[in-house]
Each structure stands twice: as structure tokens, then as C-alpha cells.
């Protein structure tokens, strides 16, 4: 049996590889939406494998082609015709360019691979032309059309990876030009007082996209025209419109980072979407007109599969781009009302925009004290294996991360606080509001305005946990909502630091992790058995009572406690966090 499989592979390996490459493209096109929502490992792992295998399969097939075709008396004369299709496959579907954000940072590596693979495909086609059995002109023309289309699509994917990086997103912001440059608001010409549906909110998100990009860059909040659009949306949908809008904004940011959206909806992207399906159709017609005499029948069938697949993939790509919310926003901005109305009608029928709301139904959670005080943290088998192979930190982040639903209480809490503040204060407050209310801002300027963002997050995370543990549970629901928001900020800092502006250093987190690990297991002499008997609130309260004894709180309040060192630059983050919690308790 082994010999039979080896014989089949030796004779049909290239055919198997090109069909596999096409099948992987179909899987990626149809399943890429899984990445937009939380899904089980049974779905995400196959998609991840398909993403990796799609590139490796096409690259391996091209390399294997160039070697095997150079051998004399090759039985499959049509094999070189398939090389351009592998370039097309390397271009990938529009719905997924990067699986992880780090893929965007490797765009230069993809550019080098692009150069190598284009040269490899060109060499295969050269062997095709110089083969003893001369191909007819129509077959050469079909191959040339697909070669050019494949090069363009592969180059477009590489450019999309570059545009998905944070630096490119920031550089795409206009200099001093309002994002509503056309003067046509998202709800311009809207009649009636009906509530905005998901498609209209999505249109508003497109209108506000530069605001979202600006927040990534830690830039200005919004222009007057954009503020007016938000006000109009709130009038129609109520205060919860802000959360609907934020969900749509996040979904658009996802499009930029993980799909070809940043390059599709440009003039050259529009041109590619027009030309690529026409090239595939033309190649199919030319192949149909060419003589198949002398070619292996199975090879002809494979060629038809590749040509029909290319037509289907490119047509799907073009129709998807033309009917996307990005195109819809462009139609609206340019005043193409008839096209806009038609596309919006079809999108509403298909409920295309409804799924984007799922981007903001949960918040990632990561808690420092939960990790430090976990009695089983050193007994996880997978954790031990990950540590042995140098992936301990990665496993730790994945294992101790979780999600919490965004409740109405969280929404009301955020909206209530926003209404209290001025627009200019929303961008860079970092806790200064509550400190000013408590008349503590002058003493703690260093953890708000005069410090880095990562330090500020760490300080407030520690202080929030300690402070809430010492507060009476008269309003437990609000306390839980505050804790969820605090845990989410640490989740971003530890698990997804690239989503935060500025430099985020892992050393701040690791230093505090070591300190509280020492506090619980060494200073408090806790045992695994004793820890298992305590609830989470009891554990944090025990730490707080050790760090913030009642007779010390007035010292924290007046800034003369043991932690109030004069050397502010060398002050550890946990010291500031404890001092802040103590001052808040003293001013309660």
C-alpha cells in the first residue's frame, strides 16, 4: 500500500497540490468571518491551519514545478500553465490577509517572497514556452493573462498587509482636513423620525472612521461636523447609539487590519476588481478555443477546475467589494443616490450589517491578583510544557484571559461619566477627574498627566482592586462594572499592547507580578490549601489589609506614608497603586 501511495504521489503530486491550493482558497473565503467573533477552537484552529497551509502549499507547488518540469520527458505538458494560478492563490481572498496582527508587521518578508515566487512562476512559464511540444498561441495568451493578474493580486495582498499596520493607519489620517470633507453627513437627506437601523449606523461609522484612527494614534477626538453627526444619531437612537457606533467602528478597524479593505476601496483597487474577473473569463475562453490534442485528459480537467475556480473567486471578490459597506459609504459621499439606495436595499434584505454589532458585546479580562494568587498556577500540565519550550508567557496570557459581557450597567456607567465631562477631557484624562473631585490631583499628577500610559494603567488597576475590596458592598453591581473595565484595560496592556498608543513595556507588568506573588506566598505565608478555601474577594481583601492597614491610611492621605518616597522616578508601580488606594480610602 505504501508503494502504491508513493507511486500515485510521484505521478500526480503537482495536480494534488494545485487542487489543494484552490480548495484552501475556498475555505478561507467562506470561513474568514469566524475571526470576527469569539469562536471555539474547533473552528479557529482549522481556519488558522488553512491560512498557513494556503501560502505554504502554493509556494511549495511552484518550487516543485520549476524542478520537475526541467526534467526531460515530463508526462504532464500542461502543468506549467498552472503556475499563474498559484500566484493568484498567493494573493488570497479579500476577506482575510492577516490572521494575527503581527502578520501585518511582516509585510516586507511577504514582499521578498512575492519577488521570489514571481520569478519562479516566470521561470516555469519560460520552460512552458521553450518546451519541445510548442503550446498554441491561445494557450500562451491565457497563461499570460493569469500571470499578470496573479502578480497584481499578490502585490495587492502585500500592500494590504503594509496598510494594516498601526503606522500606516496613523499616516493615512488627513492633515487638518475634516473626515467629512464632502460636506455630506451620514444621515443627509434622511426622512422621518424612525430609528436608525444597523446599515445606517454602519454608514455613520464610516463617516467617523478618521476619529477611530485618530484614537489609535492618540490624536484629536473629533471635528465639529462629526460631533454633529453623533448628536443626530443620539437623537434618533438614544444614548445607546454610542455603543452601536463603537461596535461598527471596531468592525471597520478589523477590516483595515485583517482584510484588504484598505486597498480594495481605492481607485486602483476598483480597477483590479474590474479587470481580474474579466481576465479570468478571457483566459477561460482562450483555453476553450485552444487545442487540447496531445495533453493528458486529467490535466485538462484540472485546468478547467482552476479556470472556473478563478472566475468564481474573482467574481465573488468583485461583487463583494461592490456591495460592501465601504462601497456604500463611497456611493453616499459622492452623491450616487440611486446606486446607494439599491445597494442599501440589498444589504438590508441580506442583513449584512447586523453581524458587525457582535464586535462589542464582550470585553477581554485579565487580572493581576487572580494570577498571583492562583494555587494551581504551577500545576497545569500544559503550562509546564509551554514553559519548557519557552512559551510560558504566551500560555499564561491565554490561560488567564477571559471575557465578560458588556451589561447595561456598564453602558450606563460609561455614559453617565461621559456626560459629566467636557469633550476635550475625554482623550487623556487617566483618572484625573476623580482625583480632582477628591482634591488629590496635585499630589498624584505623576500617575495621570506626567507618566506613561502603561504605568497609569498598572497603577489604576492595582488601586481599583485594593480600593473595591475595602469598600462596603452596598452597590455591588456598580463595583463589578468598575472591576470589569479595570480588568479590560490590563487585558489590552498585557495581551494586545499594540492596540494602545505609545510604548507599552512588559517589564511594568512583570515587576508587579513578581511583587504580588511574593506578597501572597511569602509575606502573607499563604498555602495552596488555605488559598483554595478563600473566595476571590477574601483574597484581595487580605492583601489590601496587609498593604493598607487602618492606622496607616491617614499617612497615605497626607502623603507621608512609607511608600511616599521622594524619588518618584524610581517608585515602583505597586507603591503608587497602594498609595492611591490608601488616599482614596482616606478621602472616602
Write out 140-162 in H/E/C secondary structure. HHHHHHHHHHHHHHHHHHHHHHH
- The answer to whether 220 and 210 are in contact (CB under 8 A) is no
Average pLDDT estimate for 52-66: 89
Query: With left for phi above 0 and alpha for psi between -120 and 50, is residue 85 left, alpha or beta?
Result: alpha
Note the pTM of the prediction, 2 decimals: 0.84
In angstroms, the CA 521 to CA 23 distance is: 53
Instruction: State residue 148's pLDDT score.
Output: 94
Measured from the Cβ of residue 339, the count of other Cβ atoms closer than 10 Å reads: 16
Produce one character per residue of 358-371: b if its CB has 16 or more CB atoms within 10 Å, e if not: ebbeebbbbbbbbb
Measured from the Cβ of residue 571, the count of other Cβ atoms closer than 10 Å reads: 18
Q: What cell was used for 195? A: 430609528
The listed range with the strongest mean pLDDT (302-316, 387-401, 431-445, 540-554) is: 302-316
Instruction: State residue 568's pLDDT score.
Output: 45
Average pLDDT estimate for 40-69: 86
Q: Is the pLDDT of residue 56 over 60?
A: yes
Instruction: State residue 232's pLDDT score.
Output: 85
In angstroms, the CA 71 to CA 164 distance is: 42
- The answer to whether 430 and 453 are in contact (CB under 8 A) is yes
SS (H, E, C) 229-288: HHHHHHHHHCCCHHHHHHHHHHHHHHHHHHCCHHHHCCHHHHHHHHHHHHHHHHHHHHHH
Q: Pick the residue with more confidence: 500 or 76?
A: 500
Backbone angles phi, psi at 217, to 5 degrees: -90, 5
Q: Is the pLDDT of residue 180 over 50?
A: no
3-state helix, strand, coil in the chain (%, to 5): 70, 0, 25
In angstroms, the CA 180 to CA 185 distance is: 7
Average pLDDT estimate for 163-189: 72
Q: Considering only 179-183, 260-264, 339-343, 550-554, which range has the smallest mean pLDDT?
A: 179-183
Average pLDDT estimate for 202-230: 80
Of all residues in the chain, the percent with pLDDT exceeding 70 is: 83
In angstroms, the CA 112 to CA 229 distance is: 44
Q: Pick the residue with more confidence: 538 or 418?
A: 538
Instruction: State residue 284's pLDDT score.
Output: 95
Average pLDDT estimate for 91-110: 91
Give the confidence band of 347 by pLDDT, cuts at 50, 70, 90.
very high
Instruction: State residue 312's pLDDT score.
Output: 95
Instruction: State residue 6's pLDDT score.
Output: 73
- Report DSSP letters for 416-471, one per residue: HHHHHS-GGGSSS-TTHHHHHHTT-TTTTGGGTTTS-HHHHHHHHHHHHHHHHHHS
Instruction: State residue 157's pLDDT score.
Output: 96
Give the confidence band of 454 by pLDDT, cuts at 50, 70, 90.
confident
Instruction: State residue 26's pLDDT score.
Output: 94
Q: What cell was used for 270? A: 476598483
Instruction: State residue 183's pLDDT score.
Output: 55
Q: Is the pLDDT of residue 181 over 50?
A: no
Q: Considering only 126-140, 185-199, 229-243, 370-384, which range has the smallest mean pLDDT?
A: 126-140
Instruction: State residue 508's pLDDT score.
Output: 82
Q: Is the pLDDT of residue 198 over 80?
A: yes
Mean pLDDT of the chain: 83
Measured from the Cβ of residue 237, the count of other Cβ atoms closer than 10 Å reads: 19
Q: Pick the residue with more confidence: 276 or 68?
A: 276
In angstroms, the CA 514 to CA 510 distance is: 6
SS (H, E, C) 514-537: HHHHHHHHHHCCCCHHHHHHCCHH
Give the confidence band of 390 by pLDDT, cuts at 50, 70, 90.
confident
Distance of CA 209 to the CA centre of its chain: 16
Residue pLDDT, tens place only, 278-328: 999 999 999 998 877 777 888 889 999 999 999 999 999 999 999 999 999
Task: Please name the residue ranges forming H helices in 34-136.
Answer: 41-69, 83-91, 101-104, 107-129
- The answer to whether 247 and 360 are in contact (CB under 8 A) is yes
Beta strands in 355-409 (DSSP E): 362-365, 402-405
Q: Is the pLDDT of residue 75 over 80?
A: no
Residue pLDDT, tens place only, 560-580: 334 334 444 456 777 667 767
In angstroms, the CA 45 to CA 576 distance is: 42
Q: Pick the residue with more confidence: 418 or 54?
A: 54
Instruction: State residue 562's pLDDT score.
Output: 40
Give the confidence band of 425 by pLDDT, cuts at 50, 70, 90.
low
In angstroms, the CA 315 to CA 295 distance is: 29
Instruction: State residue 8's pLDDT score.
Output: 75
Q: Is the pLDDT of residue 263 over 80?
A: yes
Residue pLDDT, tens place only, 17-38: 999 999 999 999 998 888 877 7
Instruction: State residue 561's pLDDT score.
Output: 36
Amino acid at each position: 500500500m505504501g508503494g502504491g501511495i508513493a507511486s500515485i504521489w510521484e505521478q500526480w503530486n503537482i495536480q494534488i497540490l494545485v487542487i489543494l491550493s484552490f480548495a484552501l482558497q475556498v475555505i478561507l473565503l467562506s470561513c474568514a468571518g469566524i475571526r470576527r467573533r469569539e469562536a471555539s477552537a474547533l473552528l479557529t484552529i482549522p481556519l488558522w491551519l488553512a491560512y498557513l497551509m494556503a501560502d505554504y502549499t502554493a509556494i511549495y507547488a511552484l518550487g516543485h514545478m520549476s524542478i520537475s518540469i526541467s526534467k526531460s520527458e515530463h508526462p504532464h505538458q500542461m502543468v506549467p500553465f498552472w503556475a499563474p494560478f498559484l500566484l493568484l492563490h498567493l494573493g488570497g481572498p479579500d476577506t482575510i490577509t492577516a490572521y494575527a496582527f503581527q502578520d501585518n508587521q511582516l509585510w516586507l518578508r511577504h514582499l521578498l517572497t512575492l519577488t521570489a515566487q514571481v520569478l519562479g512562476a516566470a521561470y516555469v512559464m519560460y520552460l512552458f514556452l521553450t518546451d519541445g511540444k510548442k503550446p498554441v498561441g491561445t494557450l500562451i495568451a491565457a497563461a499570460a493573462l493569469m500571470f499578470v493578474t496573479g502578480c497584481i493580486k499578490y502585490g495587492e495582498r502585500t500592500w494590504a498587509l503594509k496598510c494594516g499596520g498601526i503606522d500606516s493607519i496613523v499616516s493615512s489620517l488627513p492633515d487638518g482636513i475634516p473626515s467629512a470633507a464632502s460636506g455630506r453627513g451620514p444621515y443627509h437627506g434622511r426622512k422621518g423620525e424612525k430609528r436608525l437601523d444597523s446599515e445606517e449606523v454602519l454608514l455613520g461609522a464610516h463617516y467617523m472612521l478618521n476619529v477611530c484612527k485618530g484614537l489609535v494614534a492618540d490624536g484629536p477626538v473629533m471635528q465639529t461636523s462629526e460631533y454633529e453627526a453623533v448628536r443626530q444619531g443620539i437623537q434618533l437612537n438614544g444614548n445607546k447609539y454610542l455603543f452601536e457606533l463603537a461596535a461598527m467602528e471596531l468592525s471597520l478597524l478589523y477590516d483595515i487590519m485583517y482584510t484588504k479593505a484598505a486597498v480594495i476601496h481605492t481607485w486602483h483597487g476598483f480597477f483590479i476588481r474590474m479587470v481580474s474577473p474579466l481576465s479570468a473569463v478571457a483566459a477561460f475562453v482562450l483555453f476553450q478555443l485552444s487545442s487540447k490534442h496531445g495533453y493528458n485528459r486529467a490535466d485538462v480537467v484540472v485546468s478547467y477546475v482552476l479556470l472556473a475556480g478563478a472566475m468564481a473567486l474573482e467574481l465573488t471578490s468583485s461583487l463583494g467589494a461592490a456591495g460592501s459597506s465601504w462601497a456604500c459609504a463611497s456611493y453616499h459621499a459622492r452623491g450616487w443616490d440611486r446606486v446607494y439606495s439599491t445597494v442599501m436595499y440589498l444589504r438590508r434584505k441580506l442583513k449584512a450589517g447586523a453581524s458587525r454589532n457582535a464586535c462589542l458585546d464582550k470585553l477581554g479580562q485579565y487580572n493581576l491578583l487572580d494570577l498571583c494568587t492562583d494555587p494551581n498556577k504551577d500545576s497545569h500540565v500544559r503550562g509546564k510544557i509551554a514553559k519548557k519550550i519557552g512559551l510560558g508567557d504566551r500560555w499564561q496570557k491565554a490561560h488567564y484571559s477571559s471575557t465578560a459581557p458588556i451589561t447595561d450597567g456598564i453602558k450606563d456607567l460609561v455614559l453617565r461619566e461621559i456626560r459629566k465631562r467636557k469633550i476635550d477631557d475625554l482623550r487623556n484624562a487617566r483618572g484625573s477627574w476623580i482625583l480632582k473631585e477628591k482634591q488629590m490631583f496635585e499630589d498624584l499628577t505623576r500617575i495621570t498627566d506626567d507618566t506613561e500610559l502603561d504605568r497609569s494603567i498598572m497603577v489604576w488597576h492595582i488601586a481599583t482592586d485594593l480600593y473595591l475590596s475595602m469598600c462596603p458592598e452596598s452597590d455591588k453591581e456598580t463595583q463589578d462594572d468598575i472591576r470589569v473595565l479595570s480588568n479590560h484595560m490590563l487585558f489590552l496592556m498585557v495581551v494586545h499592547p499594540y492596540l494602545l498608543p505609545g510604548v507599552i513595556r512588559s517589564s511594568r507588568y512583570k515587576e508587579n507580578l513578581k511583587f504580588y506573588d511574593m506578597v501572597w506566598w511569602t509575606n502573607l505565608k499563604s498555602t495552596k490549601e488555605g488559598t483554595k478555601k478563600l473566595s476571590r474577594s477574601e483574597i484581595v481583601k487580605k492583601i489590601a489589609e496587609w498593604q493598607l492597614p487602618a492606622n496607616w491610611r491617614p499617612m497615605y492621605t497626607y502623603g507621608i506614608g512609607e511608600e511616599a518616597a521622594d524619588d518618584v522616578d524610581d517608585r515602583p508601580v505597586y507603591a503608587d497603586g497602594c498609595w492611591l488606594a490608601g488616599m482614596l480610602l482616606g478621602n472616602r
